[in-house]
Amino acid sequence: MLKVSVKWQKEVFPDVEIDTSLPPYVFKCQLFDLTGVPPERQKIMVKGGLLKDDADWKTVGIKQGQKLMMMGTADEIVKAPEKGPVFVEDLPEEEQAVAVGHSAGLFNLGNTCYMNSTVQCLHSVPELKSALLQYRPSGRRNDLDQTSHMLTVATRDLFSELDKTAKPVAPMQFWMSLRKKYPQFGQLHNGVFMQQDAEECWTQLLYTLSLSLRSPGANDNLDTIKALFGIELVSRMHCQESGEESSEAESVYSLKCHISQEVNHLHEGLKHGLKSELEKASPPLGRSAIYIKESRINGLPRYLTIQFVRFFWKRESNQKAKILRKVDYPLELDVYDFCSSDLQKKLEAPRQFLRDEEGKKLGLKVAEKNAAAPKDDDEKMADAEGSSNTNGESSVASSQDGNSCQSEDTQLTGVYDLVAVLTHKGRSADSGHYVAWVKQEDGKWIEYDDDNPIPQREEDIVKLSGGGDWHMAYICMYKARVVRM
């Protein structure tokens, strides 16, 4: 009989007796009683290794009072989960794009950054994507020419390709179709394609899509592009001399921000752009006279496009020169001031609702209000409901060309959030570099510099307002903030 002390984790069991005539397994069973560790899980350190179940105590050489150390737990044995995790590294390429969190870049095919940045900006409009996906090549209508059809198909394919991969895409097909449809983009200079104006590309592309994406329904006016981007304007023409007045309505795809000496902010530029003077024949006077045209927005789009009129034709240098003036633009744009009084009235209720929502979000005085006059609140709610109903009706009635993609209960508020900026760097429209800065669904900004997407911070986005040789905003795209009522 020997007595040893056994150390197990932080515990010490003194005076454990070993019967050297019995195999060590018996000793392990003794320890099992003390520690609860099953013998097969016990590791007992003795000189030169672990104590084996069938070892001979004599060869092990245990001495009276020796300290032994035991390792082992009764814990569960770690098992690999049945379904191992999936790693990005193992994913096929398409799914890696999802993991990266943003879509791919586009290779520059030789001065095609204007096209790449346009595509990236428009690609960020999910409604446009889904509309394109519904476009069936077979469903081509007779009034659509072949080239427009080709361009639409190419756009659709390019958009879906961008979503599939994390690696940059070469937009060959799209580039060919675009040149076929609009030969001016195929201009060569010294054997290479020339840099083009991105705004032109943007406008032309939207125009083509608006032709091809018309719903095949009876109403020819049911136009997806128009529903998404179209801005209804009412203009009042006023002739100072004759005092005659006329008004007309028109639909445009973008608002212009005119830049002059006084313009420091987008708001001022827009105001400027909505007011113009023109000379036309005046019937009462019998000669041409100066008319003042003042426009108001009468119908708001889901996506508001604003073009900074930075380029003007400079005769002496024979190129489109650029105005470098700094014009600030906000991340959140409110166009209420530019709306016609009709539209303003319609916007009133959703705006109020939006304000309340935001107030609630900030935790402002909701409780207080409730405590003060619950009844009043109810009334207001009722009011809001009522007005929303009427509004809903009126909006259907006035039918912003049928808000096909807009569900009945969401309302525009006239408040817009910046979602994409197309910038230009350089001194003239036909030179320099175009880059798209696009807000992702998760709220992060990505700068798409051709094939290289770079994450950016939101505060850097508003720094693209010009005033130097850095990238400056040329086209801004705002997304409408809607309320669900």
Partner 1 sequence: MAPAPNSSGGNAPREEASLKVPVKDPKKKDEKKDEDLSEEDLALKQQLELYVERVQDPDPGLQKAALESMRHEIRTSTSSMTSVPKPLKFLRPHYGTLKAYYETMAESDLKRYLADILSVLALTMSAEGERESLKYRLLGSEGDIGSWGHEYVRNLAGEIAQEYSKRQSEEAPIDDLMELVQQIVAFHMKHNAEPEAVDLLMEVEDLDMLMEHVDSTNFKRTCLYLTSAARYLPGPDDVSVLDIAYMIYRKFEEYANALQIALFLDNMQYVKQVFTSCDDLLRKKQFCYILARHGITFELNEGMVSDDGDREALQEIINNSKLSEGYLTLARDIEVMEPKSPEDIYKAHLLDGRASASASVDSARQNLAATFVNAFVNAGFGQDKLMTVQSDSSSSGGSSANWLFKNKEHGKASAAASLGMILLWDVDSGLAQLDKYFHGTDMQVLAGALLGVGIVNCNIKNECDPALALLGDYVDREDASVRIGAIMGLGLAYAGAQNNEVRAKLSPILDGKASLDVVAFTAISLGLIYVGSCNEEVANSIIFALMDRSESELGEPLARLLPLGLGLLYLGKQDAVEATAEVSKTFNEKIRKHCDMTLLSCAYAGTGNVLKVQNLLGHCAQHLDKGETHQGPAVLGIAMVAMAEELGLEMAIRSLEHLLQYGEQNIRRAVPLALGLLCISNPKVNVMDTLSRLSHDTDSEVAMAAVISLGLIGGGTNNARIAGMLRNLSSYYYKDASLLFCVRIAQGLVHLGKGLLTLNPYHSERFLLSPTALAGIVTMLYACLDMKAIILQKYHYVLYFLVLAMQPRMLMTVDENLRPLSVPVRVGQAVDVVGQAGRPKTITGFQTHSTPVLLAAGDRAELATEKYIPLSPILEGFVILKENPEYTEDR
CB nearer to partner 1: pick between 75 and 316: 75
DSSP state for residue 39 in the 8-state scheme: G
Q: Is residue 331 a contact point for partner 1 (CB under 8 A)?
A: no
> Residue 449: what residue type?
D
Q: Is residue 41 a contact point for partner 1 (CB under 8 A)?
A: yes
Closest CA to 299 of 379, 370, 369, 229: 229
- The single residue among 23, 39, 101, 402 that binds partner 1, judged by CB under 8 A, is 101
Q: Is residue 431 a contact point for partner 1 (CB under 8 A)?
A: no
Helices of type H across 88-145 = 93-100, 113-123, 126-133
Tell me which long-range contacts 124-128 makes (C-beta under 8 A, separation of at least 24). Answer: 124/419, 124/420, 124/438, 124/439, 124/440, 124/477, 125/228, 125/303, 125/477, 127/224, 127/228, 127/302, 127/405, 128/209, 128/224, 128/225, 128/228
Site residues (CB under 8 A) for partner 1, limited to 459-478: 460
Q: Is residue 165 a contact point for partner 1 (CB under 8 A)?
A: no
* Shortest Cβ 94–partner 1 spacing (Å): 12
Q: Is residue 75 a contact point for partner 1 (CB under 8 A)?
A: yes
* Shortest Cβ 453–partner 1 spacing (Å): 9
* Shortest Cβ 34–partner 1 spacing (Å): 15
Instruction: Tell me the CA end-to-end span of the chain in Å, nearest whole number.
Output: 87
- The single residue among 60, 100, 252, 384 that binds partner 1, judged by CB under 8 A, is 100
Q: Choosing from 238, 265, 272, 433, which is the catalytic residue?
A: 433
* Shortest Cβ 168–partner 1 spacing (Å): 12
Contact between 478 and 306 (Cβ < 8 Å): yes
Using CB under 8 A, which of the segments 71-79, 154-162, 243-251, 352-360 binds partner 1?
71-79
**Residues ≥6 apart with Cβ < 8 Å to 404:** 215, 222, 224, 227
* Shortest Cβ 394–partner 1 spacing (Å): 40
Q: Is residue 91 a contact point for partner 1 (CB under 8 A)?
A: yes
CA-CA distances (angstroms) from residue 367 to 330, 383, 403?
32, 20, 36
Q: Is residue 54 a contact point for partner 1 (CB under 8 A)?
A: no
Contact between 203 and 253 (Cβ < 8 Å): yes
Q: Is residue 10 a contact point for partner 1 (CB under 8 A)?
A: yes
CB nearer to partner 1: pick between 50 and 372: 50
- The single residue among 15, 33, 63, 85 that binds partner 1, judged by CB under 8 A, is 85
3-class SS string, 391-444: HHHHHHHHCCCCCCCCCCCEEEEEEEEEEEEEEEECCECCCCEEEEEEECCCCC
**Is 433 one of the annotated active-site residues of the chain?**
yes
Using CB under 8 A, which of the segments 174-182, 383-391, 401-409, 438-446 binds partner 1?
438-446
Collapsed DSSP state (helix, strand, coil) of residue 459: helix
Active-site residue list: 113, 433
Contact residues for partner 1 (CB under 8 A)? 7, 9-10, 41, 43, 45-50, 67-69, 71-73, 75-81, 84-91, 95, 98-102, 440, 442, 444-445, 455-458, 460
